[in-house]
Amino acid sequence: MSDFDSNPFADPEATANPWQDPSVQQATSGGGQRGLDEFNPFEGNAQTTKPTSGAKTTPVVPPPRKPDPSPAVMMPTEEPPAYTPSAAQPPPPAQDDLLRRQEELERKAAELQRRENEMKNINYNPRANNWPPLPEKCPVGPCFYQDFAVDIPLEFQRTVKMCYYLWMCYACLLGLNMLGALACFCTGYGDCGITFGISIVYFLLFAPCSFVCWYRPVYKAFRSDSSFNFFLFFFIFFCQICTTIIFAIGIPGWGTCGWVLSLGVVQKNLGVGLLMLIITLGFCAHACISAYLLKRVHSLYRTTGASFAKAQQEFASSVTSNPTVQDATRNAVSGAVSGAVSGGGTSGNRM
């Protein structure tokens, strides 16, 4: 079978002798070719010069390259035109929001500037009178300045506020007493007509006078540590406590709905009598709270270092520095001097 696979035209000697192969003969013959031991891969690239005998070899160093002064990024010779959105291109929603906020800020800045100009034009006084809080259209303005956080020290603010609320309760009691006296007058019991008339006088007189005579002194006393105002408060407030006790008794014809008058009206008209009894209980409670507050203010007064001698000094300095007292004293002295001079001249003429 192997005879059929062989080449009939091949040389029988070549097939018998493998050394007759041309490739093997070329590899074994040294015909101008070098072996692997003599192969130098750097021979073609390296250029060497044989140095002369006795001369040192100097390596050839290439000159340094100069840096290129031109910038890495080319700058445009002309500025690009500013971007202007066209009318056909609507701004994005975020830009609309920014524009709206900017307009709002500009409007607020203009409003603040206008208010600042108005305050500069108007003589603004931060301590202007603010009590009673009346509307601007009212022809009568506030009469007093009151600010607990600014004027009163922190440890005395609670006591002064209690005095203020007690005065408000006193004014409300006087108003309720007037209404109770009116109801008593409508029942026709006793001398309720006189009681109603006097109750109106009490409301119109005692409500503002109590504010000026004992509340403002205690406010000034804690504000400026004034001994004179402390003593003025003690005297007038004690008198008011006594007056409130008399109001609670309710003597007929004295202008108050006390126990005596209320119990008499209860027998004739139960509804009016109960109203008057509630007012009577209010006067009793007010007298008790006033006594407690008087004791509390006195204990605080002893811790402030105030004394009767300081009160006398403050009274003397306030009287001597009062412009009205100074004018009255000046007029009295000038009148006395002019009278003495005129009297001396007439006596000399008589002689």
pLDDT, tens only, 148-197: 988 999 999 999 999 999 999 999 999 999 999 999 998 888 778 899 99
Q: Distance between the two ends of the chain, CA-based, in angstroms?
A: 198
Nearest Cα to 168, choosing from 286, 257, 280?
286
| Inter-CA distances, 255 with 34, 44, 111, 132, 174, Å | 149, 139, 56, 27, 10
d(CA 159, CA 145): 18
Nearest Cα to 228, choosing from 333, 323, 142, 307?
307
| Inter-CA distances, 283 with 81, 142, 148, Å | 87, 29, 27
Instruction: Tell me the sheet residues that pair with 232.
Output: none
- Percentage helix, strand, coil for the chain under 3-state DSSP, each rounded to 5: 65, 0, 35
pTM of the model: 0.59
Is residue 276 within 8 Å of 263, Cβ to Cβ?
Answer: no
Q: Kindly report, residue by residue over 11-53, the tens digit of the pLDDT.
A: 555 555 666 666 666 656 654 455 555 556 555 544 444 454 4
pLDDT value of position 163: 96
pLDDT value of position 46: 46
Is residue 306 within 8 Å of 227, Cβ to Cβ?
Answer: yes
- Which tokens in the block code for residue 269? 């008209």
pLDDT value of position 113: 86
- 3-state class (DSSP) for residue 135: coil
Residue ranges in the chain whose pLDDT is less than 50: 1-2, 31-32, 45-50, 52-55
pLDDT value of position 349: 52
pLDDT value of position 117: 77
- Which residues does 241 contact at the CB level (< 8 Å), separation at least 6? 287, 290, 291, 294
- Which residues does 263 contact at the CB level (< 8 Å), separation at least 6? 273, 277
